Structure 1
Amino acid sequence: MIQIKEIPSKETYIVRQPVLRKGKPIESCIFEGDDLDTTHHFGLFDNENLTGIISLFKQINTTFAEKNQAQIRGMAVLETHQKKGFGEALVKYCEEYCIEENVDLIWFNARTAAVGFYKKMNYQTIGEAFDIKDVGEHSLMFKKL
């Protein structure tokens, strides 16, 4: 059985590290703003085991005119559980949460390898791909709600 619920930032590290920061110290899994009151972390549990995570930050990107924006960061599903719709479930959960909170636009920096995944959910790229030091090539993506 799959369940998505809010979790503390520290609980995200056990998924962030092997998926997003492989071979790097656990400290690299701590993101600026993780513990702000306006930041929310959601975990996807498969039979009570945390297998996927997504974090939602109240963050304005000046590329967009919308006043109420949210940034997705640290979206990850354990390798053993990928290609099962869990990532899509996490993104949709965030979208529904954002709609309830009157957020106008979701944006994020997507790894190049994940751009196709997000395009299937109607996210669009804007601008050129760019490199994030020690992480790799990314594209800015967004969706108006």
Structure 2
Amino acid sequence: MTLIKEIASQETFIIRQRVLRKGKPIESCNFEGDNLDTTHHFGLFENKNLTGIISLFTTSNPIFEEKKQWQIRGMAVLEEHQKKGFGEALVSYCETYCISQNVQLIWFNARTEAVSFYKKMRYQPIGKPFDIKNVGEHLLMFKKI
């Protein structure tokens, strides 16, 4: 059985480290803004085991004119559970949550290897690829909802 529910920021660290910060200390998994009241973290549980995570930050990007926009950060599914629809389920859950909060636009910095995944979910790339230090090449993507 699959369940998605809100979790504490610290609960995301184990998956952030295994998927997004391989070989880096657990401290690198604590993102700025993680513990703000306006930040939401969601976990996908498969048979009661945390398998995937996603975080929503109430952060605006000045490139976009929409007044209410949120940023997705730290979306990750354990490698052995990828290609099972869990990533799509997490993103869709966040979209539904954002709609319930009257958010107009979702944006994020996607790793270049994940761009095709997000394009399938109708997110659009904008601008040129850029490097995030110690993390890798990314591309800004967005979707009006």
Normalising by structure 1, we get a TM-score of 1.00
SS of equivalent to 2:122: coil
State the Cα RMSD in Å.
0.2
CA–CA separation in structure 2 for the residues paired with 1:85 and 1:11: 21
Match of 1:2 in 2: 2
Number of corresponding residues: 145
Cα displacement string for residues 72-121 of structure 1 (whole angstroms, at most 9, x for unaligned residues)? 00000000100000000000000000000000000000000000000000
Normalising by structure 2, we get a TM-score of 1.00
Identity of aligned residues (%): 77
Superposed, which structure 2 residues align to 1:108-119 within 5 Å? 108-119=108-119
**Please, which runs of 5 or more residues in structure 1 have no aligned partner?**
none
SS of equivalent to 1:62: coil
Match of 1:81 in 2: 81
CA–CA separation in structure 2 for the residues paired with 1:8 and 1:58: 16
CA–CA separation in structure 2 for the residues paired with 1:7 and 1:134: 26
Superposed, which structure 2 residues align to 1:12-31 within 5 Å? 12-31=12-31
CA–CA separation in structure 1 for the residues paired with 2:76 and 2:121: 16
Q: Would you identify which runs of 4 or more consecutive aligned residues in structure 1 move more than 3 Å?
A: none
The reply to whether residue 139 of structure 1 matches residue 139 of structure 2 is yes
SS of equivalent to 2:92: helix
Match of 1:62 in 2: 62
CA–CA separation in structure 2 for the residues paired with 1:36 and 1:56: 11
Which residue identity lines up with residue 33 of structure 1 in the other structure? Answer: G
Match of 1:101 in 2: 101
SS of equivalent to 2:118: helix
CA–CA separation in structure 2 for the residues paired with 1:141 and 1:118: 8
Query: What displacement does 1:63 show?
Result: 0.4
Superposed, which structure 2 residues align to 1:116-127 within 5 Å? 116-127=116-127
SS of equivalent to 1:22: coil
